[in-house]
Amino acid sequence: MLNPFREIVQDDASETELVEAAKNGNRDALEKLVLTHQAWIYNIAVRMVFHPHDAEEVTQEILVKVITKLSTFKGQSKFRTWVYRIAANHVLNMKRRSAETSEMTFTDYGSAIDSIPDADLPDPTSVPVALPILVEEAKNSCTMGMLLCLDRKQRLIFTLGEILGATDTVGGEVLEMTAANFRQSLARARRDLHTFLNNQCGLVNTSNSCRCPKKTRGFIQDGHVDPHRLLFTQEHFERVRDVAGEAVREIEEVVEQQHVSLFREHPFLQPADEIYWLRRLLQLEDVRRSLRLN
């Protein structure tokens, strides 16, 4: 899977051909084009709104904009820049979803975690999945929720630059800012997360008492983790670090790297049925009005 946030994307030429074919009504070209970016947009959306169901709605809203505006793409920028500018503007300005209804500071988040008592893992015969999967779900839920303590722009910059591996140049192009400003904004988000994790998380700083296995039962009891309906973790999944690679950048101020790896250990999430989802999207009236598909 090619990462659209790499500095150089090898399939630029073939994507240009797909864009022209899709603009001329070729349905197969349009499907290939959308599928190239759908999962990446979804992985941005889920880190902006937390709940996968909300992320699916956000992704659909973005794809409707991309498809209905496709005829306006004139090739003055790279197609990936055009697509992700639409995605970035949408997630920065969209209505608040359920996880964003109340603002959460890092202090609030740390207090919420501390309020969950430590406990042994549940009896393995009482839950429908293996205990390591539940612990992984607790860790992923906690670190996904942590992103909501950043404001939207910080969250998006951190998601693009550290989780999905966008270079400073590509991230700056998407957000219409200089590479230097993107790097500086990313450094601030990194420092905020590092400060919190260094004071809270036992995975980053072993002197901290908070441990995922000790919090898992409490997460289940408080409804943050549902063993019957895991939000982020399946038995077999790809991790972001394996799909996205890593952006190499010079950070002006040295910041610990360990906290970043927690977020790159996240699953690279996929919509449940990409092809069905896409074809259902193509049946929407607004989409069909804007296209003349062969």
| pLDDT band (50, 70, 90) for residue 253 | very low
Residue 17 lies in a domain: yes
- 15 vs 169, more confident: 169
Please give the average per-residue pLDDT across 266-280, as a whole number. Answer: 79
Tell me whether residue 4 is in a domain: no
pLDDT higher than 80, residue 275: no
Residue 11 has pLDDT above 70, yes or no: no
Domain count, the chain: 1
Give a yes or no: residue 3 inside a domain.
no
User: Is 108 inside a domain boundary?
Assistant: yes
Residue 190 has pLDDT above 50, yes or no: yes
8-state DSSP, 282 = T
Look at residue 281 in the predicted model and tell me its pLDDT: 72
pLDDT tops 50 at residue 154: yes
Residue 1 lies in a domain: no
Do the domain assignments include residue 71?
yes
**CA atoms of 224 and 220, how far apart (whole Å):** 6
Domain span at residue 228 reads 12-290
Tens-digit pLDDT profile for residues 103-131: 899 999 999 999 999 999 999 999 999 99
More confident residue, 219 or 236: 219
Over 90: is that where the pLDDT of 205 sits? yes
DSSP helix, strand, coil percent of the chain (3-state; round to 5):
60, 0, 35
Q: Give the pTM.
A: 0.91
Higher-confidence position of 90 and 250 = 90
CATH number, domain of 63, equals: 1.20.140.160
pLDDT at position 206 is 93
What is residue 276's predicted lDDT score, i.e. its pLDDT? 75
Domain membership of residue 225 (yes or no) is yes
Confidence category of residue 75, pLDDT binned at 50, 70, 90: confident
Sign of the dihedral defined by the CA atoms of residues 36, 270, 204, 159, in that order: positive
Task: Decide if 7 is inside a domain.
Answer: no
Q: What are the Cα distances from residue 216, in Å, to 131, 135, 219?
A: 9, 6, 5
Asked if 227 contacts 127 with a C-beta cutoff of 8 angstroms, the reply is yes
